[in-house]
Structure 1
Amino acid sequence: MKSVKTPAGQRTRAVIYVRISQDRTGAGLGVDRQREDCEALAARNGWDVVEAYVDNDVSAYSGKLRKDYRRMLADLDDGTATVVIVWHTDRLTRSIVELEEYIELSDRRGIATHTVQAGTIDLATPSGRMTARILGAVARQESEHKGHRVARARMQKAKNGEWGGGIRPFGWGVPTGETRKKVDRKTGEEVEAPVLDMNKAVPEEAAAIETGTDMLLAGGSIRGWVKWLADKGYTTTRGNAITHVDARDMLLRPRNAGIAVYKGEEIGTGPWDKLVPEEKFRAVVAILKDPSRKTTPGAQPKWFGSLIFRCGAPGCIETVRVTKTGRLQLPSYRCRLQHGGGRRAQLVDDYIEDLIVERLSRPDAADLLLPGPDDIDVAALQMESEQIRRRLTDLAGAFGAGRIDMPQFTEGSDVARAQLEGVNKQLARAATRDPLVPLVGAPDVRKAWKSMGLQERRTVLRELLDVTLHAPRPGRMPDGTYFDYEAIKTRWKRGTETASP
């Protein structure tokens, strides 16, 4: 790089670049201190600072885009300045590729680099460029060592079940009575904040997680639980409304069952309070991660038999939905091909619900229940699960120590993971509950039925009964009404009864 002489009377134009990789308080104090030191250096040398570029809370090592750094390079290429001031060379770059790009630009545009801590970096000479490269390599090594130390510390914390920080998870965080000082991210002011015990469950939030888990295991939906949460006044720990995604994530947290996780892998159990038994958690995971589960259901059905009852028109295989038909525009069941008419939705729903309640009120209703998972030893499965995870950890350690090669590690890991998947499926089966359980044996089956949500009732319908709607007969029926109940054909899926009269 050739030196550039500034004509007499013309002041040198300089730019400042400041960066901090982690701004824990959000107040930008680190970059402010760097900027003050850089401005002082410019003042001592009589340079005019025409622009300051700031990348706050962005690591030069991580590979993430540093927007102001890229903007500075573009401006320098356009001739904005001939001097770049940084606090230290490691603030400028910790990437060899980026450094070479910067050296090339400096040489092409006659740019000098000055640092507060390391003095002038003369990129015009081979020795200066060598020095810059050495400093860059040292900075990168420091970043790699720091990353390794941080990763080891985080893994150790996860293994010990320690809280790693961040937003308080819904379900845990009981005030200890102590306080600590923290910087408010919005105002930048120091405030007193309560110290929370992240191993202790918040009773009302724990009960909400348990309710959501039980709702799903009884055939309910995430949407139904979201509505329940809203009706009860629950919000996220940040005070926002709980969305469908929030609710799903809450139920899928291994922490709910006391399981510790690091980088997506289960590594043992934690010391915090469990919100639900492990078998229930496994069952919820199996339900929510079932590939056949419809994740974008659209509008929630408002009628009991919508998209469940089938059309009985000759050759038609469609399910029915509710549309308004006739002169009075009464809600009626029709299929997508418009077969129907006269099949009053409310009357059909009431009739089918009465059939179900009557059947479940009989003394032999218990015969309809599916066999329970009494043959599953949950404790033994949990012990087996822990042994498999320990084997996976041992395999990783043996591979890292060079005692086994990659094919052996891969084969052993694949076998262990397949076994673990089988154990988890058995644990899930142990917690899956027959949706008829809340009704069979209830003192008042109708009252228990009415207390269930629509989605739970629809789940019972799917499990218990096939309903086909045929074309109704016109005119008054023998019972004096105008509704043809004989056009509704039913088939019980459980028990000895197979068809409606």
Structure 2
Amino acid sequence: MDSYARLSRNQKGKLEKCETQHADNRDVIERLGGVLGEEISDPKLSAWNPRVHRPGWVRVMKRVAARACDGVVLWNTDRGWRQSPDLEDMFKLIEGFDSFTVASSHGRYDLSDYNDRYQLRQEVAHNQRNSDEASQRISRRFDVLRRKGVPHLQGRSFGFPGLDRTVPKDEAMDADGNDTREPVSAALVERERVALRAGTSAVLAGVTQVKLSEEWNAAGLRTVTGGLFSPTKVRDLLLRPRNAGLIEHEGEIVGTMPGEPVVDPVEFERLRALYAGRTRGRQPGLRYVGSGIATCPRCGKKLSGRPHVGEYPDGERRRQYACTKARGGCGRVAADVRLVDREIRGMVLARMSDKTHAAAIKAARARISDRLAEVDREIAECEQRQEAIAAKWGARKMSDKAFDRANEPLVADLARLEAVREELTGGNPEGPTEAMSREEAAEKWDAADIGEQRAMLTDALGRDTLYVDPSDRTGFRTFNPKRVRVEPYQPGPAARPTAS
């Protein structure tokens, strides 16, 4: 007979060690005249939560299915089953067995006897009722605490005091089941709080999550478990209601924490409104001139910039534009960033100094001015409505769920209208109206940052499309400047261009 033990608390609230339970189980096996099979343990504190994985209990079930034992002994049946479906799974496993014994310090059940199965079902149903009652009692207690301003935290969180979570809890437990981890220093907590306040202000000022995560990592800040920050983790941290002293449950603000909040509640509400109005999807960065503008001629997806193998002669890491499968592309186009940017620069200078090209853009925008004015008016209306619902949300006159319901159609309309405006203007509503000399264009380009160069590229393209063709993969690996080309805009449905 196998012995199973699970670290848990007895009726007095004290931990019952697995070693103690196994010792009692061995006495039961000896009293029943059996022989000990395996001693299997689970150092967990829950058997009623179906989301908790118990590898020890899984092994018990596998041994039962393989008929490697004739029974299982538990210190108490609630160590194995607190949910009736789990017991029924055991019954299914032993169908066809001549006999199978489940024993504990309080009794013995022969599962080949339907009366014993009935009694065991009653005992497990009683265990489940106790668990449900405890769960409801705990839920009510947490609800009362939340309304009193006491948050329910699962250990220490960034910007708040608590035990050091860089040490795993399982490794910090002593022989008596006590947590031996030390509290983090007050200096570290204050440093994290300064980062939360500065990060909130930075995002409101237009700093990206990518930039913020890089700054935090470079400054030596780490997550509470000792990991590096990613842009997503930074966003999740900044959007925690507890930063502003608020306690949120199921999307509703239900309480306020005592004391001074880490982040100004007004700034936090502005941050939430900012994120609520954002559309999904990664925005083009400010590291690559052609990212999100240059297009793959094979599949029509926009190229993105990424690091590449090796270094340039000046020591900087090589980079390339690529059509990546991770973003839905074909993965068949890649080209060195510096070589492509050199061709982009030449194209921009040629177009911005071309009087005919500038005049054509001016004339085209004159033809579409009426439709553009209508689109701009609709965009302004959507933005005004967003500001109105954001004001209600900020004044707590609207729940988060109600805000999302009102904001989602506006976000969809704005995305559609902005796409129309992009199509009408070629991405630059202002656009050039007069040509400049090539020297002036070169001076402007060379003095510009990446964002300004992207604007100049969009301005020079107008409604045309910039393509980067795939390499022909023949001969020496030299870059062919003709791979970078511009396809004139064609009104109406047109076939996808192919690489030349």
Quote the residue 2:82 is aligned against.
94
Quote the residue 1:225 is aligned against.
212
Deviations 1:37-57 (A, max 9, x none): 212322344422122333332
Cα separation, partners in 2 of 1:271 and 1:306, compared to 1, 3 Å: farther
Tell me the secondary structure at the aligned position of residue 115 of structure 1. Answer: strand
Quote the residue 2:170 is aligned against.
185
Q: Distance in 1 between matches of 2:24 and 2:304?
A: 74
Quote the residue 1:136 is aligned against.
124
Match 1:240 to one of 221, 227, 234: 227
Quote the residue 1:394 is aligned against.
none
Q: Distance in 2 between matches of 1:284 and 1:147?
A: 35
> 8 Å contact 2:161–2:189 — kept in the other structure?
yes
Tell me the secondary structure at the aligned position of residue 72 of structure 2. Answer: strand
Are 2:346 and 1:341 equivalent residues in the alignment? yes
**Match of 1:100, as an amino acid?**
E
Quote the residue 2:146 is aligned against.
158
Q: Distance in 1 between matches of 2:281 and 2:394?
A: 33
**Match of 1:37, as an amino acid?**
D
Quote the residue 2:374 is aligned against.
none
How much has 1:341 moved relative to structure 2?
Answer: 3.1
> 8 Å contact 1:21–1:60 — kept in the other structure?
no
**Match of 1:186, as an amino acid?**
E
Quote the residue 1:167 is aligned against.
155
Query: Structure 2: where are the runs of 5+ without partners?
Result: 296-301, 306-318, 322-335, 354-379, 409-448, 465-500
Match 1:267 to one of 250, 254, 259: 254
Quote the residue 2:63 is aligned against.
75
Quote the residue 1:38 is aligned against.
25
Q: Distance in 1 between matches of 2:149 and 2:246?
A: 9
Quote the residue 2:402 is aligned against.
418
Are 2:244 and 1:257 equivalent residues in the alignment? yes
How much has 1:226 moved relative to structure 2?
Answer: 0.8
Q: Distance in 1 between matches of 2:337 and 2:169?
A: 57
> 8 Å contact 2:73–2:102 — kept in the other structure?
yes
Tell me the secondary structure at the aligned position of residue 261 of structure 1. Answer: strand
How much has 1:90 moved relative to structure 2?
Answer: 1.8
How much has 1:163 moved relative to structure 2?
Answer: 4.0
> 8 Å contact 1:309–1:469 — kept in the other structure?
no
Q: Distance in 2 between matches of 1:61 and 1:242?
A: 34
List aligned pairs for 1:1-150, cutoff 5 A.
14-20=1-7, 30-57=17-44, 59-64=46-51, 65-106=53-94, 108-150=96-138
Cα separation, partners in 2 of 1:247 and 1:157, compared to 1, 3 Å: same
List aligned pairs for 1:384-399, cutoff 5 A.
384-385=395-396
How much has 1:245 moved relative to structure 2?
Answer: 2.8
How much has 1:222 moved relative to structure 2?
Answer: 0.6
Structure number having the greater strand percentage: 1
Cα separation, partners in 2 of 1:35 and 1:132, compared to 1, 3 Å: same
Tell me the secondary structure at the aligned position of residue 234 of structure 1. Answer: coil
Cα separation, partners in 2 of 1:224 and 1:249, compared to 1, 3 Å: same
Structure 1 length-normalised TM: 0.56
Cα separation, partners in 2 of 1:35 and 1:72, compared to 1, 3 Å: same
How much has 1:143 moved relative to structure 2?
Answer: 0.9
> 8 Å contact 2:4–2:39 — kept in the other structure?
yes
Q: Distance in 1 between matches of 2:188 and 2:50?
A: 38
Q: Distance in 2 between matches of 1:60 and 1:70?
A: 12
Cα separation, partners in 2 of 1:22 and 1:380, compared to 1, 3 Å: farther
How much has 1:380 moved relative to structure 2?
Answer: 8.9
**Match of 2:24, as an amino acid?**
D
Q: Distance in 2 between matches of 1:165 and 1:419?
A: 26
How much has 1:248 moved relative to structure 2?
Answer: 1.8
> 8 Å contact 1:113–1:120 — kept in the other structure?
yes
List aligned pairs for 1:426-445, cutoff 5 A.
none
> 8 Å contact 1:334–1:340 — kept in the other structure?
yes
How much has 1:307 moved relative to structure 2?
Answer: 4.3
Match 1:468 to one of 440, 443, 460: 460
Structure 1 vs Structure 2 CA RMSD:
5.1
**Match of 2:129, as an amino acid?**
Q
Q: Distance in 2 between matches of 1:94 and 1:47?
A: 26
Deviations 1:96-125 (A, max 9, x none): 233233235446223443433321123343
List aligned pairs for 1:244-323, cutoff 5 A.
244-290=231-277, 292-295=279-282, 300-303=285-288, 305-307=289-291
Tell me the secondary structure at the aligned position of residue 263 of structure 2. Answer: coil
Deviations 1:5-53 (A, max 9, x none): xxxxxxxxx1122234689xxxx96333322221232234442212233
Quote the residue 1:439 is aligned against.
none
Cα separation, partners in 2 of 1:165 and 1:278, compared to 1, 3 Å: closer
90-99 or 219-228, which deviates more: 90-99
Tell me the secondary structure at the aligned position of residue 207 of structure 2. Answer: coil
Cα separation, partners in 2 of 1:66 and 1:168, compared to 1, 3 Å: closer
> 8 Å contact 2:244–2:262 — kept in the other structure?
yes
Q: Distance in 1 between matches of 2:291 and 2:390?
A: 40
Cα separation, partners in 2 of 1:309 and 1:295, compared to 1, 3 Å: closer
Q: Distance in 1 between matches of 2:264 and 2:256?
A: 12
Deviations 1:179-228 (A, max 9, x none): 9xx99631533676556899x99432222112222221222211100111
User: What percentage of aligned pairs have identical amino acids?
Assistant: 21
Structure 2 length-normalised TM: 0.56
Cα separation, partners in 2 of 1:104 and 1:310, compared to 1, 3 Å: closer
